[in-house]
Amino acid sequence: MTEPEKMAEEMKTHLVNDIIPFWKGMRDDRYGGYYGWLDYDLTLDKKAVKGCILNSRILWFFSNAYLFLGDESLLSEARHGYEFMKAYCMDKEMGGVYWSLAYDGRPEDTTKHTYNQAFAIYALSSYYDASKDEGALAAAMELFHIIEERCTDEIGYREAFDRAFREIGNDKLSENGVIADKTMNTLLHVFEAYTELYRVSGSVKVRERLLWILDAIAEKVYNPALHRQEVFFDREMHSILDLHSYGHDIETAWLLRRGTDILGERSYEEKMLPIILDLTSQVYKAAFDGHSLANECEKGAVDARRIWWVQAEAAVGFLNGYQLAPAHREYLEAALAEWEFIREHIIDKREGSEWYQEVDRFGTPTVGEPIVEPWKCPYHNGRMCLEVIRRIMNVSLVGMQK
């Protein structure tokens, strides 16, 4: 067995024996959906806020785990997530998906955010693939039209809105001391969601928007002089902060490749490939220390924390870089090293836990950071396992046969 095959087998074991059972255990059978908080000491708060992003990502995860493994219990989990989304996360009066709910399903934060609508599309599209429930596909298409009709301007995607889709300040997707009108992060995940929606629907309109987003990434977000993406923008898409987000760039690299593969548009494959390789190369040179990836660099100052999701995306992104440019064997070595770091330091070995949220560059966990919170879910680490297994075992990247 080769080293990559060994990594894929280990990830499959981790997926089946650790990640899936943990998230099954977060299921709320009384009020629906999945519990929203497990603290560092593994104390479950059954009355914590339930983020709609969290529940969308869990729905996406169980749908794709079912498509991979064919285990009917996984489809049952996905159905549970879908019923909760349909009953509580979606605003039946004004359309769209809320930001968060109280533990019992009452709206807690009625903000409508483009990022949040996108993750619901991502989840509903995968659930449709798993279940063939036409209602899920119809809901995904409805959210697509909401984004396109209510969340766009002549330049790109506006982001934050109140319940009635009146624009408000974008504090939820802004960080590092700035408030951004537009962000790379939202654009990336609209692209990711539309990729999945196009894969399962074949919609011409969705395809057109995917091509438009690729142009926007290439011409407005990607900075060829600095070999990175810009992160935060004003309304006209001018960068407002000197920030290199290593995790987002390596994630973007492989998501762009997946998107162009699914689109099958050769001219865009050729247009995006140099960007994909440049982003991969720069992250490798600037942020990878031989075993793990730093978080980001703001105004020349590196944040050396090892964030859980950044490590997961690095494992996939470096493997993607090696598959696109096999002469760069250092990318394969980086993917293998990332998995070793994850296995030894990010996976929490305590019974009843999953992954630490962050550790330092030596692998020491940050005490106090929760194991589950509105952004911490099986989306990055579960997807890492599925994606690496698919790639190494030469299984189609656009869906697996049960």
Angle between helices 184-201 and 246-263 (to 10 degrees): 30
Give the span between the Cα atoms of 307 and 310, in whole angstroms: 5
Query: pLDDT by residue (tens digit) across 233-291?
Result: 999 999 999 999 999 999 999 999 999 999 999 999 999 999 999 999 999 999 999 99
Alpha-carbon distance of 147 to 339, in angstroms, equals 36
Q: Tokens 């693939």 correspond to what residue?
A: 129
Return the pLDDT at 394: 77
Q: What is the pLDDT of residue 395?
A: 53
Taken in order 94, 138, 148, 214, the sign of the CA dihedral is: positive
Angle of CA points 373, 249, 241, to nearest 5°: 85
292 touches 246 (CB < 8 A): no
CA dist., res. 173 & res. 117, Å (int): 13
Residue 348 identity (one-letter amino acid) = D
Q: Which residue is listed with tokens 């959906």?
A: 33
Q: Which two tokens stand for residue 324?
A: 């696109």
Both tokens of 393, joined, read: 């075992």
Task: Domains for the chain: give ranges and CATH numbers.
Answer: 3-392 (1.50.10.10)
**Predicted local distance difference test score (pLDDT) of residue 194:** 98
* Helix/strand/coil for 93: coil
Structure confidence at residue 400 (pLDDT): 36
Give the containing element (helix H, strand E) for 65.
Answer: helix 52-69
Q: Within 13 Å of residue 303, how many CA atoms lie on the same side as its CB? A: 17
- Segments of the chain scoring below 70 in pLDDT: 395-402
Report H helices in 288-395.
Answer: 308-324, 329-341, 378-392
384-399 pLDDT per residue, tens: 999 999 999 875 433 3
